[in-house]
Amino acid sequence: QQQVKQSPQSLIVQKGGISIINCAYENTAFDYFPWYQQFPGKGPALLIAIRPDVSEKKEGRFTISFNKSAKQFSLHIMDSQPGDSATYFCAAIEETSGSRLTFGEGTQLTVNP
Amino acid sequence: NAGVTQTPKFRILKIGQSMTLQCTQDMNHNYMYWYRQDPGMGLKLIYYSVGAGITDKGEVPNGYNVSRSTTEDFPLRLELAAPSQTSVYFCASSYVEPAVYEQYFGPGTRLTVT
């Protein structure tokens, strides 16, 4: 059972453009919604995270938008750069479940120069 | 700190062989995890541990075993390898507080079963 659905599977953006990745979840008990970034040949690393009582969180060029009623959240990368080319995973966690992250399927982002 | 280290980086196994993937962390994290990553499928949790001596099944535990005798080490054992176990395996660790959602991942082990 896939509890976190992510789209698109792949995304190509021109340098300077906005990259948008969307996720939807089912479990209303999730407490945190982190995003992870993975470069080729490396393990994922935490990029940014949001709680469900906040509608938006911004860190530099990266912004999470959260819609609790729709059970959706998205990652926006402003002024996308070739160095942002990576695979991005949304995730969700229910703290009382023993810190088990549920990951989306991943989005492979390519930013063309 | 080295963070989370995994060995080996690559391995080719024949069907029916066994092997142990090693994972060590030097951050004194309580929680440790094993994931497998298949193309287009995200990361699936195999097993996790909330402390030495305590392990529990994740989403896809069949064909694998783990042990946690120390805080630092969390080896993953594959018995009777099958082609379906061809994947990239990641070990991760995390604190209990303050940001339990922040997991630190190792560089991965790419395993091929033929």
Among candidates A43, A89, A91 on the partner chain, residue whose Cβ is nearest the Cβ of B107: A43
What per-residue confidence (pLDDT) applies to A96? 73
Cβ of A57: how many Cβ atoms within 10 Å?
16
Please say if the pLDDT value at position A98 is more than 80.
Answer: no
Please say if the pLDDT value at position A2 is more than 70.
Answer: no
Please say if the pLDDT value at position B98 is more than 90.
Answer: no
Q: How many residues does chain A have?
A: 113
Report CA Rg, chain A: 13
Q: Which residues contact A60 (CB under 8 A, 6 or more apart)?
A: none
Q: What percent of chain B has pLDDT over 90?
A: 86
> Distance between CA atoms of B93 and B98, rounded to whole angstroms?
14
Please say if the pLDDT value at position A46 is more than 80.
Answer: yes
Please say if the pLDDT value at position B101 is more than 90.
Answer: no
Mutate to test the interface with A, among B101, B103, B109 (most CBs of A within 10 A): B101
Determine the average pLDDT of the residues in B68-94.
Answer: 96
A101–B48 C-beta distance less than 8 A: no
Please say if the pLDDT value at position A45 is more than 90.
Answer: yes
Determine the average pLDDT of the residues in B20-37.
Answer: 95
Please say if the pLDDT value at position B99 is more than 80.
Answer: no
Q: What percent of chain A has pLDDT over 90?
A: 82
Please say if the pLDDT value at position B100 is more than 90.
Answer: no
The band of B40, judged by pLDDT with boundaries at 50, 70 and 90, is confident
Give the torsion sign (CA, B78, B21, B89, B97). Answer: positive
For residue B2, with 0-12 CB atoms within 10 Å meaning exposed, 13-18 middle and 19 or more buried, which class applies? Answer: exposed
> Distance between CA atoms of B74 and B53, rounded to whole angstroms?
10
B42–A44 C-beta distance less than 8 A: no
To the nearest whole Å, the CA of B81 is away from the closest chain A CA by 23
What per-residue confidence (pLDDT) applies to B96? 75
On whether any CB of chain B is under 8 Å from the CB of A52, the answer is no
- Structural contact between residues B92 and B110, judged by C-beta atoms closer than 8 angstroms: no
DSSP three-state, residue B83: helix
Q: What is the pLDDT of residues A72-90, one digit of tens each?
A: 999 999 999 999 999 999 9
Phi first, then psi: give them for residue B49, nearest 5 degrees.
-140, 135
B105–A43 C-beta distance less than 8 A: yes
- Structural contact between residues B52 and B104, judged by C-beta atoms closer than 8 angstroms: no
What per-residue confidence (pLDDT) applies to B44? 94
What per-residue confidence (pLDDT) applies to A35? 97
The overall average pLDDT reported for chain A is 93
What per-residue confidence (pLDDT) applies to A94? 84
Task: Compare A61 and B2 and report the one with higher pLDDT.
Answer: A61
Amino acid type, A8 = P
Reported as half-sphere exposure (CB side, CA atoms, 13 A), residue A19 has a value of 31
One-character DSSP codes across A63-84: EEEEETTTTEEEEEESS--GGG
Reported as half-sphere exposure (CB side, CA atoms, 13 A), residue B43 has a value of 30
> Distance between CA atoms of B61 and B79, rounded to whole angstroms?
12
A100–B40 C-beta distance less than 8 A: no
The overall average pLDDT reported for chain B is 93
Which residues on chain B place their C-beta less than 8 Å from a C-beta of chain A? 4, 31, 40-45, 48, 50, 56, 58, 90, 92, 94, 96, 99-108
